[in-house]
Structure 1
């Protein structure tokens, strides 16, 4: 009987017209930080080395419906309007060692744009089923309008650079890892 050789070719998923996302570039993690195919609480992106909190539907601080005014730990120090609402979420994630990590934070605007792009692939999108089609806060302020901060709308991908009034309660996706700039 002849031996059969099987070659596995990764299927590439397109996040946009210029960048490719491969299934080999991410791994889902349990709340304890172990790789899992079920009950994922985080998604690790190997291209950026960032780990993203996956929203839950469980009335916890990680619930998809929890909203926060802008400001708190990590927020840009621009302007005089800031709140500390998201501190409870960051502190809880770090105290609970969510997915095995204690360095959770709110993402920069560039990281949030990367997350939107990542979650557009059909293979990754199911992990973000609890992400609302609404703007999400970043830690990035907008210097020209100090009472506003930068957001990304997860319904259409639009990055708002000034119309996120800091007093408006919006959802937050946590991230951990070294701060990233947008890839050039």
Structure 2
């Protein structure tokens, strides 16, 4: 067995440290980049930063509707009472107001997709966190600082449903009386839970 002298040992250890550090630096950079990767899509589903209608989040594989500044169903001021397609079946108070928005988005294949729906409470929390990034926030300039509906009910108080307030990120059930008109952000993709 060959024994290394002190100089060889130092060179060997320095080389191993350099290789190990390079591995961790590359791994950390790629992980950080992949977590922050989003792309904006136009109404047909083509990547576009000029006329974005949706934002695709590669971290969660969800695509979000971007609200518009007009009087359309996708307009930032359009509100809906709670209930309709996808809503949790808890309690007897439910409305079908948001069905028109969901059906129109799917019929028109908004951003190239036909599986639009109202998000779960966990997905809505993810959206609030996502749009806090300074690079992403401008795309959500038409999102109001108000509670937004999720499809998630609240079993203890069946006349309420769960919301996320886009002014402060707080998730409420008591702020979401089902008869109150609140805005909705559509989403598509497999239902997601908040990462634990």
Normalised by the length of structure 2, the TM-score is 0.82
Tell me the C-alpha RMSD between the 2 structures.
1.5
Normalised by the length of structure 1, the TM-score is 0.88
1: distance between equivalents of 2:114 and 2:143?
22
Match runs of 1:146-161 below 5 Å: 146-161=158-173
Structure 1 partner of 2:180:
168
The gaps in structure 2 that reach 5 residues or longer are: 1-28
Per-residue CA deviations over 1:25-61 (Å, capped at 9, x if unaligned) read 1100000000011110000000000000000012110
1:130 paired residue among 125, 128, 142: 142
2: distance between equivalents of 1:131 and 1:82?
24
The alpha-carbon deviation at position 90 of structure 1 amounts to 0.1
1: distance between equivalents of 2:187 and 2:164?
15
2:111 paired residue among 79, 99, 103: 99
Structure 2 partner of 1:32:
44
**Residues 119 and 163 from structure 1, CA distance in 2 versus in 1: closer, same or farther, beyond 3 angstroms?**
same
| Contact preservation (8 Å) 1:42, 1:54 | yes
The alpha-carbon deviation at position 21 of structure 1 amounts to 4.9
| Contact preservation (8 Å) 1:28, 1:37 | yes
The gaps in structure 1 that reach 5 residues or longer are: 1-8, 14-19
1: distance between equivalents of 2:169 and 2:76?
18
2:131 paired residue among 112, 119, 122: 119
Q: What secondary structure is seen at the aligned counterpart in 1 of 2:168?
A: coil
The alpha-carbon deviation at position 163 of structure 1 amounts to 3.1
Greater share of strand residues, 1 or 2? 1
Greater share of helix residues, 1 or 2? 2
Task: Tell me which structure has the larger Cα radius of gyration.
Answer: 2
Aligned length: 167
Runs of 4+ in 1 over 6 A off after TM superposition: none
1:141 maps to 2:153 = yes
1:74 maps to 2:86 = yes
